[in-house]
Amino acid sequence: MVSDMLKKVVKKSIENEFYSPFPENYKKGQAKYIIVLGTVMSGLGKGIFSSSLGKLLQFKGFKVAPIKFDGYLNEDAGTLNPFRHGEVFVLDDGTETDMDLGTYERFLNLNLTENNYLTNGKLFSEILKKERKGEYLGRDVQVIPHVTGEIKLFLRNLAMKTKADVVILEVGGTVGDLENMFCIEAARELLYEEGKENVSIIALTYVLEPEFLGEQKSKAAQLGIKNILSVGIQPDIIACRCSNPVTNKIREKISVFSNVPLNKVISLHDVQSIYLVPEILKRAKVDENIIKKLNLKRKNHFKEEQEEIKQWDAWTEKIQEIKKEITIGMIGKYTALRDSYASIIKALEHAGISHNVKVKKKWIETTYIETGEKSIENALKDIDGVIVLPGFGKRGAEGKIKCLKYIRENNIPFLGICFGMQMAVIEFARNVCKIKNANSTEINPETKEPIIDILPEQKKLESLGGNMRLGGKKIEIKPGTRAFELYGKKKIIRERFRHRYEVNPKYISTLESKGMVFSGKHPKYPIMQIMELPDKRFYIACQFHPEFTSKPVICNPLYLGFVNAAIEYKKR
C-alpha cells in the first residue's frame, strides 16, 4: 500500500513540477553532504580522496557515511569482468560492489551495506517497481523530477539509517559521461533543496605532465572543470591529480578559470602509499575548509583528535621507514589488470607494514604456464611465497594446478584464495591421493572424479544452487590447527564468501587420510572452508576472501601469518 506521506508527496507532484520525497522525520540540515566529482578521465582516485577526507572528519568525531554511484545499468558489480572493471568487492551483507567500497571500509574501519552503493540499474529497477505498483499515481515518470528524486531519496535514506553527520557521495566516471548526468543533476538539485550551507562540491581533475614537454599543462583540467560549471554546479574545492606536486602557476590558472580561491585549489600528487593521502589533505586544510563551509560543530575535543591522528600517524610512519622487502608470486589469470586483485594487494600491504617489510609482487599469468610458453621454474624463481589468486572459469586452471605441484613439492609458503583453494585440493587429489582424473565440474562438467562440485544437498541447505554464496558467514575452526593459532584460538570466526563450488564431501576422508587437514568448516554441514598441510612451512588455502576483512592496523590473520612465513623463508 502507498503510505499517506507518499500520497501527499505524489499529489503535490501532480499539481506542480516538484517530486522530492523525504524519509519520515527527515529534517533539512541534520546531515551534511559532500559530492565528489571527477573530470578529464576516470581512475583519478576519487575513492581514495573521499576515504581520506572521511578519515579526517572521523578524527574530529563526525560520523561519516560514504556512498558510491556507478552509472552502468547492471544492478550491481557481480557480473562485471575484472578486465573491464577491476575487482568485485563483497560487503558483509552479500552485496557485490565496486572496488571503491573496499577503500571506504579499509580507511574508515566500517562494515558497509547495500545502502552505500547505487547503480543506474539498481535505481531504474526500483523506479520501475514503483511505477508498476502505481506509486507515482498516474504521473508520466521522467528523468526530472522522478529519477533525480529517487537518487536524492536514496542519499537521504542513507543519512537517516546511519545517523550520519556527513554523507560523502562519490560519482563514478567523469562529468560529461551521459550515464552520470542523472546523478550530477540530482546533486545540483540537492544543493538547491538542502542549501549551500549543507552541501559541498569537490572536483578532482588531472594535470597533464608530458615527458616530451617537461612541464605541467592545465588546459585539459580547465576544460573538465568547464563541464561542471556548465551543468550549474560551482565546485568549492578542486584537487589536482598529478605525478608531481602541482606548481603554483598551474593552480593559479585553474583558480582563475573556475572561480575557486587559490587556497582551495590543492595538489594531490603521487605518494608512497594511499594511506599518506589524509596527511596531504590535512596540510591543505581541506577538512577545515569543509567544516567551515558546512558549519559543522566539532564533536571531538582537540586532545581526542590529536590522539586519533597520533595512532594513524604511528602506523603510516612505518610505511616510510621500511627497508627490508620480500617478493610474493601472484599466480592468476587477470594479472594484466592489477585492479582485479585490489583488496589482496592491500591486505599484503597491511601485513607487510605490520611485519616491517615491503611486499613486492611478481605477477605470473597462468595461461602461459598452461600452454608451456613459460616454465614454472623461471616463473617461481626468486620468490619468498606464493598466492594462488581467485578467478572463475576454465582458462588458466591447469596452469594453477601445475604451479601448485611445484609449490607443494618445494615447500614454498603458500596461500590459496577461493578458486586457489579448489585448485590446491585438486592438485593434492591428483598427485598425492593418485586420483588421476580429479577435477572440478566448473572446469569439466563431465568429470568422473568431481573433487570440486555443486552438491545437491548444498543446494537445499543454503539455496546455493547456481547462485553465488555471498557475504559474511560463520566458520568453525578446528582446535590444534595452524588456522586455530592464526585466528587467536577462536573456535568461530566470520569471513566473506563469493563462490559457487565446494569440496565434495565424498572425497574428504580420502584427502584427510593422505595428510590434508580441513581446519575450517561450516558450523553445521560438511562444507569445507579452510585446508592446510601441517607438514609444510606454510600451506593454507581458504574458500572465502580474507582480504575483504583486512584493514590497516587490523590486518587479516591469514595474511599476517603468510607474510611472516615468507619472511622466514627468505632467511633460509
Residues with active-site annotation: 418, 545, 547
* Dihedral (Cα; 411, 413, 417, 421), 10-degree rounding: 20
Helix, coil or strand: residue 377: helix
CB neighbours (10 Å) of residue 337?
15
Q: Exposure of 255 by Cβ count < 10 A (0-12 exposed, 13-18 middle, 19+ buried)? A: middle
DSSP 206-237: E-B--TTTTS-B-HHHHHHHHHHHHTT---SE
**In this structure, are residues 167 and 110 in contact, taking their beta carbons and an 8 Å threshold?**
no
φ and ψ at residue 89, rounded to 5 degrees: -95, 135
Angle between the N-to-C axes of helices 46-59 and 100-108, in degrees from 0 to 180, rounded to the nearest 10? 20
According to DSSP, residue 29 is labeled: T
Helix, coil or strand: residue 268: strand
How far are the Cα atoms of 58, 60, 66, 296, 466 from residue 300, in angstroms, in the given order?
Answer: 9, 5, 20, 12, 49
Cell 575450517 locates to 520
CB 455, CB 469: distance < 8 Å: no
- Between CA 95 and CA 471 the distance in angstroms is 7
Report CA-CA distances (Å) from 262 to 238, 242, 257, 284, 422: 9, 17, 11, 11, 55
DSSP assigned state of 339: G
Alpha carbon distance 189, 204 (integer Å): 20
Consecutive H or E run containing 49: helix 46-59
Confirm if 32 and 198 have CB atoms less than 8 A apart.
yes
Q: Which residue has the cell 567544516?
A: 291
Neighbouring C-beta atoms of residue 441, cutoff 10 Å: 17
Contact 423, 400 (CB under 8 A): yes
Residues 401, 422 contacting (CB under 8 angstroms): no
